[in-house]
Amino acid sequence: MSDKSMHIHVHHVTRVEGHGNIDVVVDNDVIKKIEWQVPEAPRFFEAMVVGRDYMDLAPITSRICGICSIGHTFASLKATEAAMGITLSEQDTRLREILLHGETLQSHVLHAGYLAVPDYFRVNSVVPLVGTHKEAVLLIIKLHRLANELCDIIGGRTTHPIRTTVGGWTMLPTEKELVTLKKRYEEAVEDLKAVAGVVLSVAGKIPNFTRETEYISLTSPSEYAFYDGMIKSSDVKAPIPVSNYRTVVNEYVNPQSTAKWTKFNRESYAASALARYNNNYAQLSPLSKTVASMFGLGAAACHNPYMNTVAQVVESVYAVERTIANIDWILDKGLKYVKPDIKVKAGKGASAVEVPRGILFHEYEYDKNGKCLMANCVIPTNQNHGNIQKDFEKLVPEFKHVGKEELQFMLEMLVRAYDPCISCSTH
């Protein structure tokens, strides 16, 4: 092919969860095709749970994702609780938030350290970095292990928690375990600062690319929303109740994808760590704001999708600080186990939880015996597929002059920056 013609076909993009393809055709400097493709087979979880007892849904739907199993568990439990009018105590809610932020740290460290940052060093995996940046890799491993251990202690195991249930918990951690976790999390703050420093040292390798888009996330006036809140769009002033989530997501089928796509006020929107950052910067902790400022980020919205990885680093700091604060609150009040009080009844309920990749929705309807009549799940990566496509459509014309190899690298790096969970999006 001539310098003005190229065919980029990546089958499949590496260092992401699931299977996604990139197909770009440029003929004599004329762009003929730009596609982000999702070929993965659907698994039909929504049909799978119809007819099942309300207690079965969280253990089943957590299997949509092995990385975000805790987030799916809570989205499922919250939807069931909304349908049946069940409320939790503040202690039990804070314990859920601690576990959810354990997953935040688990996933963000996994993505930034093992999957995304190798692009900044122009290596194909984290393995070469063991030789060149051994201490940083060991810190990543240490932080990931710490998050795993928190999830094990609070949730009963690292993945697919077994201590969480409709209306509360089946078993609580001990105060001694919480004290130990707090101490180790306080020590982890310095480790995260060191990791942020390593990322900063190569942040100049992040492509200078921007595309203004709509950002969707949870929001709360009192905190950087993860576990609860209302829906916020960067294009809409008033927050939207979670019960009206269908007016936001507007799922549709795209022929180049086996996963549904979504759109709200524009042709696409982003749901991600960067979306949360842009919508809720004011609620970040002082230290996480300081880390953001190291990368030139502040209150102004960032429209560079490659910066999602940096937003994950910022959120990792917030997750650790928020966990310490929640443990302090629980220890101050004293742990008290209260058996969940459940009165099964017919109803319909929707929920939203922020998981590492963005806002996650679950909705269920039950009959009077607690049997599921309907289920709907909208995964963050579903909500990001269209935005990846639109980013491609702006990126290729702007950077096709750099040549096939470099353009392919930028496209793959862009996909990885979104941290997609492609299998989850087909669910």
Q: Tell me, what CATH number does 80's domain have?
A: 1.10.645.10
* Same domain, residue pair 13 and 76: no
Q: Domains in the chain: how many in total?
A: 2
Residues 146 and 24 in one domain: no
Shared-domain flag, residues 253 and 390? yes
Tell me if 422 is assigned to some domain: no
424 in a domain, yes or no? no
Instruction: Examine the domain organization and report whether 238 and 265 are in the same domain.
Output: yes
Residue 7 annotated as binding site: no
427 is in an annotated binding site: yes
Could you tell me if 117 and 309 are in contact, meaning their C-beta atoms sit under 8 angstroms apart? yes
Binned average pLDDT, 10 residues per bin, the chain of 427 residues: 85 96 97 98 97 99 96 99 98 99 98 96 96 96 98 97 98 98 98 97 97 99 97 98 99 98 98 99 97 98 99 98 98 96 97 99 99 99 99 98 97 98 95
Tell me how far apart the alpha carbons of residues 71 and 419 are, in angstroms, rounded to a whole number: 16
Classify residue 197: in a domain, yes or no.
Answer: yes
277 and 386 together in one domain: yes
Q: Which amino acid is at 74?
A: F
Same domain, residue pair 58 and 126: yes
pLDDT of residue 1: 54
Q: Are 372 and 52 contacting, i.e. CB atoms less than 8 angstroms apart?
A: yes
The per-residue pLDDT for 4 is: 87
Is 65 a known ligand-binding residue?
yes
Contact 241, 341 (CB under 8 A): no
| Claim to verify: residue 20 and residue 94 sit in the same structural domain | no
**Is 68 assigned a ligand-binding role in the annotation?**
yes
Tell me: do 349 and 247 sit in the same domain.
yes
Looking at the domain assignment, is residue 94 inside a domain? yes
In-domain check, residue 425: no
104 and 78 in a common domain? yes
* pLDDT number for residue 294: 98
Pair 18, 52 in one domain: no
- The whole-angstrom separation of Cα 106 and Cα 279 is 23
Q: Do 30 and 112 share a domain, yes or no? A: no
Show the domain range for 26: 6-37
Q: What is the pLDDT of residue 2?
A: 58
Q: Is 421 flagged in the annotation as binding? A: yes
Amino acid 3: pLDDT: 66
Would you tell me how many other CB atoms lie within 10 Å of the CB of residue 334?
8
- Provide the pLDDT for residue 241: 99
Task: Please give the Cα distance from 341 to 32 (Å, whole number).
Answer: 60
177 lies in the same domain as 214: yes
Residue 156 lies inside a defined structural domain of this protein: yes
Q: Is residue 99 part of a domain?
A: yes
- Known binding residue 302? Answer is no
Does the residue 427 lie in any domain? Answer: no
Query: Could you tell me which of 284, 411, 294, 355 has the C-alpha nearest to residue 108?
Result: 355
